[in-house]
Amino acid sequence: MSEAEEILNRIKNHKGVIGILVVNSEGLIIKSTFDQQQSDLHASLLTQLSKKARDVIRELDPQNDINFLRLRSKKHEIMIAPDKDYTLIVVQDPYADKEKS
Amino acid sequence: MAGSSSEISESLNGWMNNNSSIVSYVLINADGIPLKYNEDVTYEHAVKQASLFSDLLTKTKKCVKELLPQENEFISNLRIRTKKETEYILCNHGDYSLITHQNCKDMQHKKKKIKT
């Protein structure tokens, strides 16, 4: 568990990271840097999205599976790493490097 | 219309040839109908991809609208990395969407070569 804390802290301290969210397979929020309402919204919507993406990939090739999702909009970027038991969601500002330099 | 249609085909094919890691592409409209697709792909496969990914893109739009309501203009893309070292890139702009299927193994191989 402390190892997980260390990894999450490393991600949190990365430049441009807005928030981190860890959700288990049942949709419950394990750990989050957002407030409660924002966490619930992100968790439900993004787990649905990753589930649907997995279904799509399985439909195209039954032996394939998703490793990672990256959802990019104009100002934000959401990265989703779904796994068997847990899903890691990171929200970041993709232009953080450019802005600061 | 015929002229612009062939221009689109030429642009897409040229772009695909410039990026050797691209396996195939499909251009679909808002209704999920494939307009342009790679010649190596059969029509049935293009239709299948178009229908599946148009549903996924609709869900993506919904997610972005709810999570990031302050962004009015919807220009976004979704990348799906799979276990077979391939990647689907779904780009949405206005009424059209471009689905690209690329092989990430080649990219990594090239990166290693460049570093050497």
Token pair belonging to A44: 């439900």
Which residue of B68, B79, B84 is in closest CB contact with A73?
Answer: B68
Give the strands of the sheet with B96-103, arranged side by side: A29-32, A17-24, A86-92, A77-82, A66-72, B75-82, B86-93, B96-103, B22-28, B34-37
Q: Is residue A31 part of a domain?
A: yes
State the sign of the Cα–Cα–Cα–Cα dihedral B35, B37, B43, B48.
Answer: negative
Q: What distance in Å separates residue A5's CA from the closest CA in chain B? A: 25
Q: Is residue A66 part of a domain?
A: yes
Domain ranges of chain B: 3-113
Q: What is the ipTM of this complex?
A: 0.76
pLDDT digits (tens, 9 = 90+) for B23-38: 788 888 888 888 877 7
- CB count in 10 Å sphere of residue B34: 20
pLDDT digits (tens, 9 = 90+) for B97-110: 888 888 776 555 55
Q: Is residue A98 part of a domain?
A: no
Q: Which CATH number fits domain B3-113: 1.25.40.80, 3.30.450.30, 3.40.120.10, 2.120.10.30?
A: 3.30.450.30
Is residue B79 less than 8 Å (CB to CB) from chain A?
yes
Q: Is residue A99 part of a domain?
A: no
Give the whole-number percent of chain B exceeding pLDDT 70: 78
d(CA B86, CA A64): 10
Q: Residue B53 and residue A72: Cβ atoms within 8 Å?
A: no
Q: Is residue A55 part of a domain?
A: yes
**A65: domain range?**
3-92
Contact A69, A80 (CB under 8 A): yes
d(CA B67, CA B105): 33
Domain count, chain A: 1
d(CA B80, CA B101): 10
pLDDT digits (tens, 9 = 90+) for B49-89: 888 888 888 878 778 877 777 665 555 778 787 877 788 88
pLDDT digits (tens, 9 = 90+) for A20-73: 888 888 788 887 888 777 788 888 888 888 878 978 887 888 888 888 888 877
Interface test mutation site (partner B, options A21, A34, A39, A67, max chain B beta carbons within 10 A): A67
Would residue A67 be called left, alpha or beta, if left means φ above 0 and alpha means ψ between -120 and 50 degrees?
Answer: alpha
User: Residue A40 belongs to a domain with what CATH number?
Assistant: 3.30.450.30
Q: Is residue A17 part of a domain?
A: yes
